[in-house]
Amino acid sequence: MRGFAELNPAVLMIYYLCVIGTAMFSMNPVIITLSLFGSLVSLIVLEKKAHIKLHLSFLLLFLILAVINPIWYHNGVTVLFVVNDSPITLEALLYGIFAAAMIIGILYRLRTFTLIMTADKLLYIFGRLSPKMSLILSMALRYVPLMRTQTLKVRRTQKALGIYRGDNIADTLKGEMRIFSIMATWSLENGIITADSMAARGYGEHRRTSFSLFHFSKGDLIFLILCIIPTALIIWALAAGEADFTFYPAMSGINSSPLALTCYISYGFLSFLPVLLEWKEELRWKYLMSKI
């Protein structure tokens, strides 16, 4: 098998649908905790960079989301304290904490999605479903870095000419509005040029053909099986109500039946599957290097 990023894009898309979909539709504390830590470790292993600002911003968002729920909602039977005649309950506090953890876990997972699912992989998937959608998506993805690069060039040029000044808020706003006007004009002009170029090359005259470097291999099949089987077990447990958890009015206990434990183990395996694959490939590489 190959590394996680080298898998077939369709297999990667199925994995993300399974792991994110389960985390979105379950408020079980065990599943949410596994989702958060699995997505965090996956980001660290796959990106191999220490994004301190990203983690701090997610931590701040987590604290904000966790505090909002007990302030606005006072359901629950266990009152911790009272603020301005408004009870702060344990159930509302824990619900806010786990709801915030679910959102942060999904955001971490989406971060790895944007890292792994590059433009060519998305085009490979959507190009077979809808060529027109694929074209629009490819153009949109192409213009994002172009807009960023062009905006930086215009801002530097304005500063070099002495037109852009950031001495105060008023000057900064004027400079940014001027840059926005320039970029809007540039975008419209570039769009017209692109449309004329496509028409000159005969776009829409005949049926389009496609070429892709991605192929479905044995490793993709193995990973797909390792993804589908745990997901099926998780869906079975959720449909049977074995992994249900309620916070209001009083918290229910975490189910520890055999099917519930199977659900937790399956989601833990699914959540850490990219990490396990990367570690397996790293150990394999070190073993092969030791044989040289």
Query: Tens digit of pLDDT for each residue in 29-52?
Result: 999 999 999 999 999 888 877 678
Q: What is the pTM of this model?
A: 0.76
* Spatial separation of the C-alpha atoms in residues 63 and 215, rounded to whole Å: 43
Q: What is the mean pLDDT of residues 251-274?
A: 90
Give the CA distances from residue 152 to residues 122, 147, 148, 161, 258, in Å, rounded to whole numbers and listed in that order: 27, 9, 6, 14, 57
> Which letter does DSSP use for residue 4 in this model?
G
Report the SS3 class of residue 80: strand
Q: 220-248, pLDDT tens digit by residue?
A: 899 999 999 999 999 999 889 888 888 88
- The answer, yes or no, to whether residue 167 has pLDDT greater than 80, is no
Question: Considering all CA atoms of the chain, what is the largest pairwise distance in Å, rounded to the nearest integer?
Answer: 73
- Of 222, 224, 229, whose CA–CA distance to 262 is shortest? 229
| Predicted local confidence at residue 38, as pLDDT | 93
Calculate ∠ Cα 117-21-245, nearest 5°.
150
Tokens for 95, please give them: 């619900």
- Ranked by mean pLDDT, the top range of 122-126, 129-133, 144-148 is 144-148
What is the C-alpha radius of gyration for the chain, rounded to an integer number of angstroms? 25
